[in-house]
Amino acid sequence: MKISTTKINGYSLVKIEGSLTIEYIKNIEQQVDQCLDEGRDVILDFCELSFICSAALSFLLASNQKANAKSLRLTIVNCNNDIRNLFNLTELDKHLSIFSSVEEARRNLES
């Protein structure tokens, strides 16, 4: 798995590649927490993500709650069909902000 973070204006783009499994959650959590501590909204780019485990779903909910508590936003973009279906099946799509592209998420953050 690979994580890269790019700071753009008032938000951070965190790109996650590979599989998001329990052994990598701590690394991603540190990246997201650092962005939130800096007062930056976070866009998680899943364009290269092939798998997500159930523990990672809990991480996403917890990170979203942290962002909300700081009046910031966490959004997810570029999910493949399998991950999108998982979010739908677990009803996480009702609790998380999910967009088709970085551009769409960026526009949402600016509104």
Question: What order of strands is seen across the sheet that includes strand 11-20?
Answer: 2-8, 11-20, 41-52, 74-77, 97-99
The number of folded domains in the chain is 1
CATH label of the domain that carries residue 77:
3.30.750.24
Give the structural domain span for 8. 2-110
Instruction: Please tell me the pTM assigned to this model.
Output: 0.94
The gap between the terminal CA atoms of the chain, to the nearest Å, is: 32
Give pLDDT tens digits along the chain (111 positions). 899 999 998 899 999 999 999 999 999 999 999 999 999 999 999 999 999 999 999 999 999 999 999 999 999 999 999 999 999 999 999 999 999 999 999 999 988
